[in-house]
Amino acid sequence: MRSGALRAALLLLLLVAAAGCRSALPPDGEQKPRHRIIAYVRGRAEIDRIGAHKLTHVNYAFAKVSARGEVVLDDPDAPAHLARLQALKAKNPRLRILLSVGGWGADHFSDAALDEASRERFAASAIELVRRYALDGIDLDWEYPGQPGPGIGFRAEDRENFTRMLETMRRHLDRLGVERERIGDDSYLLTIASSGGVYFEHTEMDRVHEYLDWINVMTYDFAGSWSPTTGHHAALYGDPGAPESRASAAAFVRQHLAAGIPAIKLVLGVPFYGRAWTGVRRENHGLYQPYESPGSGDYSYSSLRRDYIDRNGFRRLWDPVARAPYLWNEETATLVSYDDPVSLREKARFIEALGLGGVMYWEHSHDPEERLLDVLYDNLK
pLDDT category of residue 18 using cuts at 50, 70 and 90: very low
pLDDT tens-place string over residues 140-165: 999 999 999 888 999 999 999 999 99
Which pLDDT score, from 0 to 100, does residue 297 have? 75
Which pLDDT score, from 0 to 100, does residue 6 have? 35
| Distance from C-alpha of 161 to C-alpha of 170, rounded to nearest angstrom | 14
pLDDT tens-place string over residues 202-239: 999 999 999 999 999 999 999 999 999 999 999 999 98
Which pLDDT score, from 0 to 100, does residue 4 have? 42
| Distance from C-alpha of 46 to C-alpha of 365, rounded to nearest angstrom | 7
What is the β-pairing status of strands 358-362 and 266-271?
A: parallel
pLDDT tens-place string over residues 60-91: 999 999 999 999 999 999 999 999 999 999 99
Q: State the CB neighbour count (10 A cutoff) for residue 381.
A: 12
pTM here is: 0.92
Mean pLDDT of 108-137: 98
Which pLDDT score, from 0 to 100, does residue 23 have? 38
C-alpha neighbours within 13 Å on the C-beta side of residue 371: 16
pLDDT tens-place string over residues 348-379: 999 999 999 999 999 999 999 999 999 999 99
* Phi and psi at residue 328, to the nearest 5°: -135, 130
pLDDT tens-place string over residues 168-195: 999 999 999 999 999 999 999 999 999 9
pLDDT tens-place string over residues 281-305: 999 999 999 999 998 778 999 999 9
pLDDT category of residue 340 using cuts at 50, 70 and 90: very high
Facing residues of 99 across strands? 60, 138
Exposed, middle or buried by CB within 10 Å (0-12, 13-18, 19+), for 241?
exposed
Mean pLDDT of 21-40: 63
Secondary structure tally for the chain: helices H, strands E: 10, 15
Q: Give the three-class secondary structure for 273.
A: strand
Q: Residues 238, 251: contact at Cβ < 8 Å? A: yes
Angle at 137 between CA 113 and CA 141, to 5 degrees: 45
Whether 5 has a pLDDT exceeding 70, the answer reads no
Q: Give the three-class secondary structure for 192.
A: strand
pLDDT tens-place string over residues 245-266: 679 999 999 999 999 999 999 9
Whether 27 has a pLDDT exceeding 50, the answer reads no
| Distance from C-alpha of 197 to C-alpha of 219, rounded to nearest angstrom | 11
| Distance from C-alpha of 93 to C-alpha of 52, rounded to nearest angstrom | 9
Helix axes 341-354, 371-380, angle to 10 degrees: 30
pLDDT category of residue 8 using cuts at 50, 70 and 90: very low
Facing residues of 315 across strands? 328
Q: Residues 346, 323: contact at Cβ < 8 Å? A: yes
Angle at 197 between CA 195 and CA 200, to 5 degrees: 75
Facing residues of 39 across strands? 58, 361
| Distance from C-alpha of 300 to C-alpha of 314, rounded to nearest angstrom | 16
Q: Give the three-class secondary structure for 231.
A: coil
| Distance from C-alpha of 363 to C-alpha of 381, rounded to nearest angstrom | 19
Facing residues of 318 across strands? 325
Does the active-site annotation cover 143?
yes
Mean pLDDT of the chain: 92
| Distance from C-alpha of 244 to C-alpha of 79, rounded to nearest angstrom | 43
> Which of these is catalytic: 30, 120, 143, 370?
143
Which pLDDT score, from 0 to 100, does residue 32 have? 63
